[in-house]
Amino acid sequence: DGGITQSPKYLFRKEGQNVTLSCEQNLNHDAMYWYRQDPGQGLRLIYYSQIVNDFQKGDIAEGYSVSREKKESFPLTVTSAQKNPTAFYLCASTGQYSYNEQFFGPGTRLTVL
């Protein structure tokens, strides 16, 4: 089955530690995205990547970093510089055009203790 997988589903970390969230897709999509969702709020764009080895900052990129070494993978690192990292993180992907339909993974809930 084609789709987007995110792991782990739940993640707990101590304050000050970097943590990397995984996102993999087998839809052969070119573009991939990371969003953050806080309780009761909408989605905010962290980073997006249109092609391999290229990515752009979204609206709330500070304290986050990404890489896009393979078409299928777009990992997100939440660094210790992110002041409020506890949130629900969603990964998405679309085809090669900006007007293509976007599909989402199941999300990772990160809690920083």
Partner 1 sequence: GIQVEQSPPDLILQEGANSTLRCNFSDSVNNLQWFHQNPWGQLINLFYIPSGTKQNGRLSATTVATERYSLLYISSSQTTDSGVYFCAVSGNTGGFKTIFGAGTRLFVKA
Residue 44 one-letter amino acid: R
Residues that bind partner 1 (CB under 8 A): 31, 33, 35, 37, 41-45, 48, 50, 56, 58, 88, 90, 92, 94, 98-104, 106-107, 109
Task: Look at strands 10-13 and 108-112 and give their pairing.
Answer: parallel
Residue recorded with tokens 């900052």: 57
State the nearest-atom distance from the C-beta of 40 to partner 1, in Å.
8
State the nearest-atom distance from the C-beta of 75 to partner 1, in Å.
18
41 neighbors 84 (Cβ within 8 angstroms): no
State the nearest-atom distance from the C-beta of 16 to partner 1, in Å.
26
Which residue lies nearer to partner 1 by CB, 37 or 79? 37
30 neighbors 16 (Cβ within 8 angstroms): no
